[in-house]
């Protein structure tokens, strides 16, 4: 089978972009190589890997768990079955956190004062949020926590791969958190328990621990609302990703909070300031 034939086979079964991503991963080559060597024969092992991977994806196994890679905020992240695959919608959370920090720094410069801000990423998973924040805000001290040791292993690897320093904490929500922060960000599990089995096969192959938000999907927002004042400094800000239909319920838990929509005009991020 030539590279051209392999690409055509993949495209017959997968999205065109996914087909090329998969082929590049199997061949360990870039687009230029694939175009320039379209008529080159693949090895038998490469053919078998391609066909097996195509079948896995058709059966609902995420492509990212095969390639062990997902781009987020212009950065490559390693992912496996122990973490959720970072999604573009979550970039809204990161972008608004970055904007908030830059506005704060501008205000501090006007007042001729300077302090090192501290941000906690609660339920960090792959570390995509924490690593992105540190990459774009190198002067901010970033902490990241998760209940899953395996998820933290992935997050630590992503920090190392992207040359950033983050303090990681194994913690069930705030259990092992002992500081107060200027900003807390979180993308907690928020899918209603009974809704998980209705999700796509791809999502169902992601870790249930990182999806299940309890009976009403609000389990972790309720925990945060009860504990937040113990861990967020006065005048600090909390930013949380939410499900598209959860804004009203979450905003009831956080008085005077506001909601930011994503690029599809869905409710996506709740912002709450501690007075």
| pLDDT tens digits along 215-228 | 999 999 999 999 99
| Whole-number pLDDT of residue 260 | 98
Q: How far apart are the first and last CA of the chain?
A: 65
CA atoms of 185 and 90, how far apart (whole Å)? 11
Examine the pLDDT at 258 and tell me if it is beyond 70: yes
pLDDT at 175 over 90: yes
What is the per-residue pLDDT for 107? 65
Question: Sorting pLDDT into bands at 50, 70 and 90, what band is 112?
Answer: low
Tens digits of residue pLDDT in 36-61: 999 999 999 999 999 999 999 999 99
- pLDDT value at position 116? 87
Question: Each residue of 138-164: pLDDT tens digit?
Answer: 999 999 999 999 999 999 999 999 999
In CATH, which superfamily holds the domain spanning 81-273?
A: Vaccinia Virus protein VP39 (3.40.50.150)
* For range 77-98, the mean pLDDT: 97
Residue 104, pLDDT score: 85
Q: What is the pLDDT, as a whole number, of residue 113?
A: 62
Q: Quote the pLDDT of residue 105.
A: 79
Reported confidence tier of residue 97, pLDDT bands at 50, 70, 90: very high
Whether 111 shows a pLDDT value over 90: the answer reads: no
The fraction of the chain above a pLDDT of 70, given in percent, is 97
Q: What residues does each domain of the chain span? A: 3-59, 81-273
pLDDT for position 233: 96
- What DSSP letter does each residue of the chain carry, written as one string? -BHHHHHHHHHHHS-HHHHHHHHHHHHT--HHHHHHTTTPBPPHHHHHHHHHHHHHHHTT--HHHHHT-EEETTEEE---TTSPPP-GGGHHHHHHHHHHHHHHHHHHHHTT-----EEEEES-TTSHHHHHHHHH-TTSEEEEEES-HHHHHHHHHHHHHTT---EEEE-STTTT--S-EEEEEE----B-GGGGGGS-HHHHTS-GGGTB--TTS-HHHHHHHHHGGGTEEEEEEEEEE--TT-HHHHHHHSTT-EEEE-TTS-EEEEEEE--
User: Mean per-residue pLDDT for 86-113?
Assistant: 86
pTM, 2 dp: 0.93
pLDDT on residue 256? 96
């Amino acid at each position: 089978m030539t590279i051209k034939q392999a690409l055509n086979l993949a495209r017959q079964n997968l999205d065109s972009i996914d087909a090329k991503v998969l082929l590049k991963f199997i061949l360990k080559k870039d687009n230029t190589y694939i175009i320039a060597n379209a008529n080159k024969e693949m090895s038998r092992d490469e053919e078998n890997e391609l066909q097996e991977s195509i079948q896995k994806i058709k059966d609902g196994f995420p492509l990212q768990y095969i390639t062990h890679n997902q781009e987020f905020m212009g950065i490559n992240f390693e992912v496996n079955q122990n973490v959720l695959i970072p999604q573009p919608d979550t970039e809204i959370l990161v972008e608004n956190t970055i904007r908030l920090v830059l506005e704060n720094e501008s205000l501090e410069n006007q007042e001729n004062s300077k302090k090192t801000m501290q941000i906690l990423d609660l339920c960090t998973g792959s570390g995509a949020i924490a690593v992105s924040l540190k990459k774009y805000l190198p002067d901010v001290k970033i902490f990241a926590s998760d209940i899953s040791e395996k998820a933290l292993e992935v997050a630590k690897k992503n920090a190392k791969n992207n040359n950033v320093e983050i303090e990681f904490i194994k913690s069930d929500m705030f259990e092992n958190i002992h500081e107060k922060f200027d900003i807390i960000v979180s993308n907690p599990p928020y899918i209603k328990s009974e809704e998980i089995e209705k999700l796509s096969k791809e999502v169902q192959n992601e870790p249930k621990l990182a999806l299940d938000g309890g009976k009403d999907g609000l389990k972790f927002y309720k925990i945060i609302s009860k504990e937040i004042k113990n861990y967020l400094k006065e005048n600090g800000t909390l930013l949380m990703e939410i499900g598209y239909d959860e804004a009203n319920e979450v905003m009831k838990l956080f008085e005077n909070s506001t909601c930011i929509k994503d690029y599809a005009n869905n409710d996506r991020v709740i912002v709450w300031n501690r007075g």
